[in-house]
Amino acid sequence: MPQPCDIVLLRFPFTDLSATKLRPVLVLTQPNISGDFVAVQITSQLRHEIQTTLTSDDFELGGLPKASIVRPDKVFTLNDALIARRVGKITETAFSRILHAVCQYLSCTR
């Protein structure tokens, strides 16, 4: 079961639904009774206007093969049945920084 701070790989469909590709996400919430949880996109495409950088120092366990960013503007509700595997866990400090960026984007902080 995924936990906040976990980075997991999921099979995301292409927009035309012709295939899927494994993509990392950062888990923000524990799954509810139905297995649904909230997560944000992680990408190695470093050219986005709204982004928070992940460095190797941000990881408590595991890591990602490429330099990556978190997209606070890409928030998803997903189901734990979609998870292929866990690839890492970030520190509480990094999680707080990213959660703050998500809340700023969503205007849930003052």
Q: Which CATH number fits the domain that encloses residue 49?
A: 2.30.30.110
Mean pLDDT computed over 57-82: 94
Domain around 100: 6-106
Interval 10-46: pLDDT, tens: 987 777 878 888 999 999 999 999 999 999 999 998 8
Is residue 1 included in any domain, yes or no?
no
Q: Provide the pLDDT for residue 109.
A: 64
Q: Indicate if the alpha-carbon torsion angle 25, 80, 58, 65 is positive or negative.
A: negative
Is residue 47 included in any domain, yes or no?
yes
Task: Give the total number of structural domains in the chain.
Answer: 1
- Kindly give the pairing relationship between strand 52-54 and strand 68-79: antiparallel
Is residue 46 included in any domain, yes or no?
yes
How far is CA 53 from each of CA 27, 57, 68, 85, 91, rounded to the nearest angstrom?
16, 11, 6, 22, 14
Is residue 58 included in any domain, yes or no?
yes
Q: Provide the pLDDT for residue 110.
A: 58
Q: Provide the pLDDT for residue 51.
A: 87
